[in-house]
């Protein structure tokens, strides 16, 4: 299904859609409140952007450095060209360990590689230990947000599924009660697991170590109790120096949720005596994205989710509407690189307002890349441009005029588009809600005001 079709489904429950929109906006506001306490915020974004640009420009060198230093530390380093190879490597380690149950903390990469079904087919029990991820795992759903995987659910949904799976009191929706029920359930799993899998937030070439950030402490509970720790990372997660972490850890949590830092920031350099530590470096299309000059810097992403929280389309269409592992604005520029045909509607799921670019802690020019993808997709459609792009954009953005103008001008042109176009039934996200009154002041100022008036 295309993004507009999925968005229409999401918007059917108007009250829930509004709640989703409001909840994410609150997270965006929390981000704004904390960054105002950091006078050097813009300087930090610029530093982070340059550090990542530099790393990507010498990625081969830094990957080899990482491997060399990590190996010297006692980490077993593996390389995987694609998702299949990544899964096979993990499958083989588990087989060697005769391991039938693992605990896993949040990793978007393992989601991207569809690791869970791969292991489950082989009779291995996979327990996602992040609370939000455990909830959606019970519901057999994918995450709808990269930082808040269960953000689409209400506490009554969670109460129902916990009643079924964990035998909590029927109808008890108290978040403290529900969280503590999950704590007990997951503690048993932690105490039994012999192998723990985690993602990686940052890997440091200079020291051969990697960092995992959580608020719940679930990654650490898993790995320190297990005998074997397997960490999975995309090859773009590298940074050159340990001191670069100072920049990134200041930016990550503030951008994600408005906290000054995540509560647990664990640096893994070598295994505890008698234990094993594996690190899998995964390509899965990243070198292809690196080769696309216009889209290269999408690989700077540190997965903070800020671009989702701020995006008027994401907030009003939900993470599932994107149908991709990473949803939202960044997902809409990463996913077409993986499968242009399947994700061809995503670059159109945007107003090109530029708010994503404004909040991105590593200064990815997200909205410009969305615009570039639109052009690529249009080119790829070739002669049947008109018919196909009608389908793609499902409404207003198909006009040749709209293709030719930049994001800024798009804002101006929206103002002049007749209501019949904006509220066209084909324009799914315009349907659920009025489109913005267009700003004479800056987007941020305007949007705040607009929200307050509701």
Partner 1 sequence: MSSKASILAAIKGLNMKEKPLPEIPVFDVAPNLVEAYTLALNSNKGTVLTKKELEVLITESSFQKIYSSSPTFNQFTNCELPQHPSDFADLDLAIIEGQFASAENAAIWLDDSNLDLRAIPFITAHLVIVIKKENIVGNMHEAYERIGSTNSGFGVFIAGPSKTADIEQSLVIGAHGAMSLKVVIL
Q: Which is nearer to partner 1, 246 or 400 (CB)?
A: 246
The CA dihedral of 239, 245, 248, 254, to the nearest 10 degrees, is 150
Site mask for partner 1 (CB under 8 A), range 125-144, x = bound: ----xxxx--x---------
Query: Of the candidates 92, 100, 122, 180, which one interacts with partner 1 according to CB under 8 A?
Result: 180
How far apart (Å, rounded) are the C-alpha atoms in residues 59 and 188?
Answer: 41
Given ligand SF4, partner 1, none, residue 11, with its beta carbon under 5 to 8 Å by kind, binds none
| 8 A C-beta contact, residue 376 and residue 333 | no
234 burial via Cβ count (<10 Å: 0-12, 13-18, 19+):
buried
Query: Of the candidates 193, 279, 302, 392, which one interacts with ligand SF4 according to CB under 6 A?
Result: 302
Query: Of the candidates 1, 5, 14, 26, which one interacts with partner 1 according to CB under 8 A?
Result: 26
User: 3-state DSSP call for residue 127?
Assistant: strand
Question: If you write DSSP's letter for every residue of 229-257 in order, what string do you get?
Answer: EEEEEEGGGEES-TTHHHHHHHHHHHHHT
How far apart (Å, rounded) are the C-alpha atoms in residues 235 and 331?
Answer: 17
Binding segment (CB under 8 A) for partner 1, from list 257-265, 362-370, 382-390, 431-439: 257-265
Q: Which is nearer to ligand SF4, 44 or 364 (CB)?
A: 364
Binding segment (CB under 6 A) for ligand SF4, from list 167-175, 210-218, 299-307, 429-437: 299-307
How far apart (Å, rounded) are the C-alpha atoms in residues 85 and 78?
Answer: 10
Query: Of the candidates 237, 278, 286, 303, which one interacts with ligand SF4 according to CB under 6 A?
Result: 303
Question: C-beta of 257: minimal distance to partner 1 in Å?
Answer: 8
Q: Which is nearer to partner 1, 155 or 415 (CB)?
A: 155
Q: Which is nearer to ligand SF4, 24 or 304 (CB)?
A: 304
Query: Of the candidates 103, 277, 304, 353, which one interacts with ligand SF4 according to CB under 6 A?
Result: 304
Query: Of the candidates 216, 325, 351, 369, which one interacts with partner 1 according to CB under 8 A?
Result: 216
Given partner 1, ligand SF4, none, residue 33, with its beta carbon under 5 to 8 Å by kind, binds none
Residue 195 in the binding site for partner 1 (CB under 8 A): no
Q: For residue 213, what are the contacts with CB-CB under 8 A and spacing of at least 6?
A: 201, 249, 252, 253, 262, 264, 265, 266
Question: C-beta of 248: minimal distance to partner 1 in Å?
Answer: 9
Given partner 1, ligand SF4, none, residue 451, with its beta carbon under 5 to 8 Å by kind, binds none
CA 255 to chain centroid: 13
Binding segment (CB under 6 A) for ligand SF4, from list 32-40, 301-309, 402-410, 436-444: 301-309
Q: Which is nearer to partner 1, 180 or 415 (CB)?
A: 180
Question: C-beta of 385: minimal distance to ligand SF4 in Å?
Answer: 29
How far apart (Å, rounded) are the C-alpha atoms in residues 228 and 195?
Answer: 5
Question: C-beta of 301: minimal distance to ligand SF4 in Å?
Answer: 3
In whole angstroms, how far apart are CA 191 and each of 90, 129, 261, 333, 396?
Answer: 21, 12, 28, 40, 55
Question: C-beta of 291: minimal distance to partner 1 in Å?
Answer: 6
Task: Check residue 106 and give left, alpha or beta (phi > 0: left; psi -120 to 50: alpha).
Answer: beta
Residue 186 in the binding site for partner 1 (CB under 8 A): yes
User: 3-state DSSP call for residue 351?
Assistant: coil
| 8 A C-beta contact, residue 411 and residue 438 | yes
Site mask for partner 1 (CB under 8 A), range 383-422, x = bound: ----------------------------------------
Which residues lie across from 340 on neighbouring strands?
none
User: How many residues at the interface with ligand SF4, by CB under 6 A?
Assistant: 15
Q: For residue 338, what are the contacts with CB-CB under 8 A and spacing of at least 6?
A: 285, 324
Query: Which 355-384 positions form the footprint of ligand SF4 (CB under 6 A)?
Result: 359-362, 364, 366
**What are residue 56's phi and psi, to 5 degrees?**
-65, -35
How far apart (Å, rounded) are the C-alpha atoms in residues 385 and 392?
Answer: 10
| 8 A C-beta contact, residue 329 and residue 323 | no
Binding segment (CB under 8 A) for partner 1, from list 116-124, 270-278, 364-372, 434-442: 270-278
Residue 244 in the binding site for partner 1 (CB under 8 A): yes
> Residues in the site for ligand SF4, rule: CB under 6 A?
255, 301-307, 330, 359-362, 364, 366
């Amino acid at each position: 299904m295309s993004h507009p079709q999925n968005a229409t489904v999401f918007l059917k429950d108007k009250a829930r859609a509004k709640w989703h929109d409001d909840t994410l906006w609150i997270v965006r506001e929390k981000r704004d409140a904390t960054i105002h306490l950091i006078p050097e915020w813009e300087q930090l974004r610029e530093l982070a952007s340059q550090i990542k640009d530099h790393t990507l420009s010498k990625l081969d060198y830094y990957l080899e450095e990482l491997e060399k230093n990590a190996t010297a530390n006692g980490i077993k380093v593996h390389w995987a060209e694609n998702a299949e190879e990544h899964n096979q490597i993990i499958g083989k380690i588990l087989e060697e360990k005769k391991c039938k149950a693992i605990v896993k903390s949040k990793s978007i990469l393992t989601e991207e590689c569809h690791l869970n079904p791969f292991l489950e087919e082989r009779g291995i029990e996979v327990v996602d230990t992040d609370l939000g991820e455990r909830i959606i795992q019970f519901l057999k759903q994918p995450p709808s947000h990269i930082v808040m995987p269960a953000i689409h659910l209400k506490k009554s949904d969670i109460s129902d599924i916990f009643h079924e799976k964990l035998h909590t009191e029927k109808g008890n929706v108290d978040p403290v009660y529900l969280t503590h029920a999950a704590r007990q359930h997951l503690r048993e799993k932690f105490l039994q697991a012999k192998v723990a899998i985690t993602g990686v937030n940052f890997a440091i070439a200079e020291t051969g170590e990697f960092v995992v950030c959580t608020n719940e402490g679930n990654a650490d509970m898993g790995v320190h109790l297990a005998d074997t720790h397997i960490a999975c990372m995309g090859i773009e997660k590298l940074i050159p120096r340990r001191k670069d972490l100072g920049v990134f850890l200041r930016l990550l949590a503030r951008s994600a949720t408005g906290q000054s830092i995540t509560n647990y920031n664990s640096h893994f350099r070598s295994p505890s005596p008698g234990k094993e530590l594996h690190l899998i470096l995964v390509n899965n299309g990243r070198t292809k994205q690196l080769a696309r000059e216009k889209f290269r810097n999408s690989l700077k992403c540190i997965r903070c989710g800020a671009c989702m929280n701020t995006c008027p389309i994401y907030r009003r269409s939900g993470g599932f509407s994107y149908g991709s592992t990473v949803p939202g604005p960044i997902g809409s520029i990463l996913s077409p690189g993986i499968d242009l045909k399947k994700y061809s509607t995503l670059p159109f799921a945007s107003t090109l307002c530029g708010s994503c670019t404004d909040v991105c802690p590593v200064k990815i020019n997200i909205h410009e890349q969305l615009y570039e993808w639109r052009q690529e997709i249009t080119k790829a459609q070739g002669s049947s441009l008109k018919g196909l792009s009608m389908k793609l954009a499902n409404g207003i953005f198909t006009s040749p005029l709209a293709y030719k103008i930049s994001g800024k001008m798009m804002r101006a042109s929206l103002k002049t588009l007749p209501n019949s176009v904006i509220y066209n039934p084909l324009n799914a996200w315009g349907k659920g809600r009025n489109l913005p009154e267009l700003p004479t002041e800056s987007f941020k100022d305007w949007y705040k005001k607009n929200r307050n008036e509701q």
